[in-house]
Amino acid sequence: MPTRFSSRLPELLGIDRIPELLDKRLVFVTGKGGVGKTTVAVALGLRAAAEGKRTIVCEVAAQENASRLFTHAEVGFHEVELEENLWAISIDPDESMREYVLLQLKVRAMRDLLFRSKIFSYLAAATPGLKELVTIGKIWELAQLDRKVKKGRKYDLVIVDAPATGHGIGFLQTPKTFANIARVGPVHSQAQQLDRLIKDHDHTGTAIVALPEEMPVNESATLERELRSEVGVAVDRVYLNGLYPERFSAEECERLARLAAGENGAVRAAARAAVSEHERARSQRAQLSRLRRRVEAPVRTLPFVFEPELGVECARELAGRLH
Amino acid sequence: MPAVDEILAGKDICICAGSGGVGKTTTSAAIAAGMAARGKKVCVLTIDPAKRLADSLGLRELGNEAKRVDPALFEAQGVEIEGELWAMMLDAKATFDELVARQAPDEESRDRVLENRIYQQISNALAGSQEYMAMEKLFELHTEDRFDLLVLDTPPSRNALDFLDAPRRLTQFIEGRSLRVFMKPTGLAARVAGRGATVALGVLKRIVGFDLLADLAEFFNAFSGMVDGFQARAKRVNSLLADPHTCFLVVCGPQGEPISEAVYFHRKLVEAKLPFGGVIVNKVHYPAEELRGDDAGADLEGALASRLAQGDGAGMGPAAASDLAGRVAENFADYQALAERDARNIEHLAAELRTSATIRVPYLDEDVHDLAGLAEINRYLFASAEQREAIAAGRA
Residues B166, B303 within the same domain? no
In a domain? residue B124: yes
Is B331–A273 a contact, with Cβ atoms under 8 angstroms apart?
Answer: yes
pLDDT confidence tier of residue A15, bands split at 50, 70 and 90 = very low
Quick: pLDDT tens for B29-38: 999 999 999 9
In a domain? residue B206: no
Residues B79, B133 within the same domain? yes
Hey, which residues does B42 pair with through a beta bridge? B85, B149
Q: Does A187 touch chain B (CB under 8 A)?
A: yes
B225 CB contacts (<8 Å, ≥6 apart)? B104, B105, B109
How many whole angstroms separate alpha carbon A312 and alpha carbon B78?
46
Quick: pLDDT tens for B209-229: 666 677 777 777 777 777 788
Q: Which chain A residue has the Cα nearest residue B199?
A: A113
Range with the poorest average pLDDT among A58-72, A199-213, B113-127, B155-169: A58-72
Taking 50 as the threshold, does the pLDDT of residue B28 lie above it? yes
Across the range B343-367, mean pLDDT stands at: 87
Q: Does B238 touch chain A (CB under 8 A)?
A: no
pLDDT confidence tier of residue A242, bands split at 50, 70 and 90 = very high
Quick: pLDDT tens for A132-149: 888 999 999 999 988 887
Residues B335, B350 within the same domain? no
Residues B106, B51 within the same domain? yes
CA proximity to B216, closest of A292, A125, A33: A125
Range with the poorest average pLDDT among A190-204, B2-16, B146-160, B336-350: B146-160
Quick: pLDDT tens for B293-337: 455 557 889 989 988 888 655 678 889 999 999 999 999 999 888
How many whole angstroms separate alpha carbon A249 and alpha carbon B70?
39
pTM above 0.90, yes or no: no
Q: How far is A37 from chain B (nearest CA, A)?
A: 11
Is A177 within 8 Å of B125 (Cβ atoms)? yes
In a domain? residue B188: no
How many whole angstroms separate alpha carbon B25 and alpha carbon B201?
45
Residue A147's pLDDT is 84
Structural domain count, chain B: 2
Is A111 within 8 Å of A101 (Cβ atoms)? yes
In a domain? residue B221: no
Taking 80 as the threshold, does the pLDDT of residue A67 lie above it? no
Across the range B81-98, mean pLDDT stands at: 86
Q: What single letter denotes the amino acid at residue B217?
A: A
In a domain? residue B199: no
Q: Is A288 exposed, middle or buried (0-12, 13-18, 19+ CB in 10 A)?
A: middle
Interface of A with B in 244-273 (CB under 8 A): 247-248, 252, 255-256, 259, 263-273
Residue A280's pLDDT is 92
Residues B309, B272 within the same domain? no
CATH number at residue B360: 3.40.50.300
Quick: pLDDT tens for B153-205: 887 655 556 667 776 766 776 666 555 555 554 544 444 445 555 666 677 67
Rg (chain A; Cα; Å): 22
Residue A278's pLDDT is 94
How many whole angstroms separate alpha carbon A210 and alpha carbon A264?
38
Q: What single letter denotes the amino acid at residue B44?
A: V
Q: How far from the centroid of its chain's Cα atoms is residue B305's Cα?
A: 46
Helix (H, G, I), strand (E, B) or coil at A149: coil
Q: Does B369 touch chain A (CB under 8 A)?
A: yes
Taking 90 as the threshold, does the pLDDT of residue B71 lie above it? no
Quick: pLDDT tens for A209-219: 999 988 789 88
% of residues, chain A, pLDDT over 90 = 41
Give me the interface pTM, i.e. the ipTM. Answer: 0.79
Q: What single letter denotes the amino acid at residue B261?
A: E
Helix (H, G, I), strand (E, B) or coil at A19: coil
Residue B327 structural domain: 296-341
CA proximity to B2, closest of B387, B358, B372, B323: B358
Taking 90 as the threshold, does the pLDDT of residue B21 lie above it? no
Interface of A with B in 14-53 (CB under 8 A): 32-35
Hey, which residues does B178 pair with through a beta bridge? none
Is B127–A167 a contact, with Cβ atoms under 8 angstroms apart?
Answer: yes
Q: Which residue has the higher pLDDT, A93 or B160?
A: A93
Segments making up each domain of chain A, as ranges: 20-245+297-304+311-318
In a domain? residue B186: no
Residue A44's pLDDT is 94
Taking 90 as the threshold, does the pLDDT of residue B370 lie above it? no
Residues B237, B331 within the same domain? no
Tallying the residues shown for chain A, one arrives at 323
pLDDT confidence tier of residue B237, bands split at 50, 70 and 90 = confident
Is A29 within 8 Å of A23 (Cβ atoms)? no
Residues B301, B381 within the same domain? no
Which helix (H) or strand (E) is A87 found in, with range? strand A86-91
**Which alpha helices (H) appear in A231-264, and where do they start and end?**
250-261
Is A73 within 8 Å of A59 (Cβ atoms)? no
Residue B18's pLDDT is 84
Residue A203's pLDDT is 94
How many whole angstroms separate alpha carbon B331 and alpha carbon B248?
37
In a domain? residue B215: no
Across the range A200-215, mean pLDDT stands at: 92
Measured between beta carbons, the chain B residues lying within 8 angstroms of A274 are: 327-328, 331-332
Q: Does A185 touch chain B (CB under 8 A)?
A: yes
Q: Does A110 touch chain B (CB under 8 A)?
A: yes
Residues B46, B63 within the same domain? yes
Nearest to B327 among A114, A180, A247 (CB): A247
Across the range B374-381, mean pLDDT stands at: 89
Q: What is the CATH architecture of A20-245+297-304+311-318? A: 3-Layer(aba) Sandwich (3.40)
In a domain? residue B243: yes
Residue A288's pLDDT is 97
Alpha carbon distances (Å) from B391 to A26, B28, B109, B380: 49, 22, 60, 8
